[in-house]
Chains A and B, each alone.
Chain A
Amino acid sequence: MRSVVIVGASLAGVSAARSLRKHGFDGRITLVGDEAHLPYQRPPLSKQFLAGTWDRTRIEHRMPDSLGLDWILATRATSLDLAHREVALDDGRGLRFDGLVIATGARARKPRWYADLPGVFTLRTIDDAMAIKAHVRSGARRFAIVGAGFIGSEAAATLRDLGCDVTLIDIEPLPMLRVLGETLAGVCVRLHEAHGVQMALGNAVEGFVGTAKVEGVRLADGRMIDADGVVVGLGVVPNVEWLHGSGIALDDGVPCDATCAVPGVDRIVVAGDVARCDHPYYGPLRIEHVNNAIAQGDFAARTLLASPGAAEPCTAIPFFWSDQYDCKLQLVGAPSPNDAIRVVEGSLGERKFVVLFERNGVATGALLLNSPHRVPTYTSIVEDAARAHEPAT
């Protein structure tokens, strides 16, 4: 293998590039990214970067020149030719490869009622975050956040901290219900309320109010939420369009085996938000978190370098965190909102607790609120439980 092309120049791609070098690959590595920027960290976009406490240089990925990477930025891959092992780019070029890393990530989902009105934003890229900051700086003070998942909740918290009026809108009756389940989502709603966020939950959105610029959000029950800024945080869509017709199977992302290899093709691997990886413990999962991008980038690179049959499965336990107001929330494992929950430390009322998710008596995950010192312990507990109940194959 003399050349590796990595399509996607964010965390998973960067992690793969680093890992290739770490494990001795000295051939050509080309990273293709559709954004004009060198890789940066996304988690601060809804937190410190949006708040203005961290500037742009603060969130750049440290990429030593010694890695010897070729960058093609502000350029999009448009198709993949498996027979010729070539990626076509939107500037007309074709990149031949021996090994390919698919790390194209995901983009903010725009619902059918979405409109690119001034004052309407998604929050996925540094350009998105800068646009929201500029809007606040130009005087916007009443924000409606559509989607009370993690991005929406963090954006609500940060904008509230900046002194804006914030209304949180979601079709579900509680924030983060689909991740955390009813009891814990109840803790989250009280947290927002305690910080003066208005709630418009259990409501579908019909569309925006305003023509020259956004003036509000129209709800299905007929209500209007006045707003001079709207952030839509309704999840993401994996970036797979460039693979249509290539012969690579697609199913909510790019399915791959536990080693991040795309089945049935030679030396093509997937990592990060776009990967639907067959997790040894949890089965096929598409995970949209930082630690997963780091882990899968590494495993994908090592799979490319491994001799046939020798690649190792990525068994990393899913982990992510969210900072909202003065609360740190950390989730390990792959719990379902329908799992039973058991408070194992602290209490729900005191905003410092650990909750175990359990299915048939087996720990599937843990949520830690303001208890970061317990992350190693509960990661081990969840990992041991997952390993002991690994589905037989």
Chain B
Amino acid sequence: MKIVVDFDACMSNAQCVRAAPSVFEVREDGFLYVLQEQPPESLRAAVEEAARLCPTQAITIEV
């Protein structure tokens, strides 16, 4: 699984951080950081939840 974030669409609302804190982090500079671009399958449900909750649909999961 590969995570692709549209950083132009990302508005740093940090809903993904709540869903998958080991994968997403919004830092003090106000930007989103993807901590694991290819997280293990065990995180799939959390990452899918993060993508679903993103209010700007900035997160895509490839394969």
A interface residues with partner B (beta carbon < 8 Å): 18, 41, 43, 58, 61-62, 290-291, 294-295, 298, 319, 321, 323, 328, 330, 370, 372-373, 375-376, 379-380
Contact = CB atoms under 8 A, between A and B. Distances in A.
Given A328-B11, A328-B30, A376 B55 contact: no
Interface of B: 9, 11-15, 17-18, 21, 26-28, 30, 52-53, 55-57, 60
A18 B53 CA distance: 12
B57 A62 contact: yes
Interface majority SS on A: helix, strand, loop or mixed? helix
Contacts of B15: 291, 319, 375
Contacts of A319: 13, 15
7 contacts: A18-B52, A58-B9, A291-B55, A328-B12, A328-B30, A370-B30, A376-B14
A372 B12 contact: yes
A199 B27 CA distance: 35
Contacts of A295: 53
A373 B57 contact: no
A334 to B, nearest CB: 17
Contacts of A294: 52-53, 55
A80 B3 CA distance: 43
Contacts of B30: 328, 370, 372-373
A294 B55 CA distance: 8
Given A62-B57, A328-B30, A379-B18, A372 B13 contact: yes
Contacts of A290: 55
B26 A375 contact: yes
A321 B14 CA distance: 11
A328 to B, nearest CB: 7
Contacts of B52: 18, 294, 298
Most chain A CB neighbours (cut-off 10 Å) among B9, B14, B15, B57: B14
A321 B11 contact: yes
Contacts of A43: 55-56
Interface majority SS on B: helix, strand, loop or mixed? loop
Q: Across chains A and B, which 4 residue pairs bring their CB atoms closest together, nearest first? A: A375-B14, A372-B12, A290-B55, A373-B26
B14 to A, nearest CB: 4
A18 B52 CA distance: 10
B26 A372 contact: yes
A375 B13 contact: yes
A372 B14 CA distance: 7
A110 to B, nearest CB: 27
B13 A323 contact: no
A381 to B, nearest CB: 12
A380 B21 CA distance: 13
Contact of B18 (A61, A62, A328, A376): A376
B11 A323 contact: yes
Contacts of B11: 321, 323, 328
Given A323-B11, A372-B30, A373-B26, A41 B17 contact: no
Contacts of A373: 12, 14, 26-28, 30
Given A294-B52, A373-B28, A376-B18, A61 B57 contact: yes
Nearest to A60: B57
B17 A330 contact: no
Contacts of A330: 13
Contacts of A328: 11-12, 30
B57 A41 contact: yes
